[in-house]
Amino acid sequence: MSLMKRLSAEFLGTFWLVFGGCGAAVLAATFPQTGIGFAGVALAFGLTLMTMAFAIGHISGCHVNPAVTIGLAMAKRFPWNNVLAYIAVQVLGAIVASGLLFAIASGKPGFNPGGFAANGFGDHSPGLYSMESAILAETVLTFMFLMIILGATDKRAPAGFAPIAIGLGLTLIHLIGIPVTNLSVNPARSTGPAVVVGGWALQQLWLFWVMPIIGGALAGLAYPWLAAEETPQSRAARA
């Protein structure tokens, strides 16, 4: 598959992740009496990723997340010379999705963008969690998300089920992390809404780049060690 086709798939996948997940948060989560709440938003993010994993996984791998791309590169599952191109189109897809979502949402009388599904800590955390809590949550949850991805896509894992495991994994970590930071684990997903909101969202954006990348990179180192098959030499050395 050509690089251009893979980049186009990553743009489309990240667009859908942000438009679907953040769209659920902006348009449906707080709708009077029928709002879907945190659980509905968590499910929306999981469904967007699962549907895209089935749709474009065979084209680009469906990273749709700079932390995933870097984690896969650290695990030697993805070439480093494609990393920056993947990240660039992922961020672009997230910004385009956020802009379109803003255009739709602003068509409602009295529309106030508020946080617009942006990620934040302190006063901008849904549960008023501190920066330290945000750092721990984003690092640990991204680490676990990458461990799920690396394990589900291992050649020894049951074939064809990876998108389901990964989509459910993203749903679960959103159920844990939305109260803390609105949950990122994805620098591109964080960048799109932050560009729309500006101000505090851009000032706090650094955390939602740095911590997911650290978590993803650590998983990229940990999973190959955890999953390494024993060789006759290693068994003999341990005996």
Q: How do residues 104-158 score in pLDDT, each as one tens digit?
A: 999 988 888 888 999 999 999 999 999 999 999 999 999 999 999 999 999 999 9
Q: What is the mean pLDDT of residues 22-50?
A: 87
Name the more confident of 231 and 67. Answer: 67
What is the Cα 39 distance to its own chain's centre? 17
- Read off φ and ψ for residue 146, nearest 5 degrees: -70, -35
Dmax (CA) for the chain in angstroms is 73
The pTM of the full predicted model, rounded to 2 decimals, is: 0.94
Q: How confident is the model at residue 234 (pLDDT cuts 50, 70, 90)?
A: low
Its CATH class, for the domain covering 3-104+114-225, is: mainly alpha
% the chain with pLDDT above 70: 94
% the chain with pLDDT above 90: 86
Classified as helix, coil or strand, 129 is: coil
The beta-strand segments (E) located in the chain are none
| Dihedral sign computed on CA atoms, order 89, 93, 98, 100 | positive
pLDDT of residue 203: 98
Terminal C-alpha separation, the chain: 45
**Res 33 pLDDT > 70:** no
What is the Cα 215 distance to its own chain's centre? 12
Element of type H or E holding 72: helix 66-74
Return the domain boundaries, the chain. 3-104+114-225
Dist CA 51 CA 47 (whole Å): 6
Dist CA 182 CA 47 (whole Å): 17
pLDDT of residue 127: 96
Q: How confident is the model at residue 238 (pLDDT cuts 50, 70, 90)?
A: low
**Res 42 pLDDT > 60:** yes
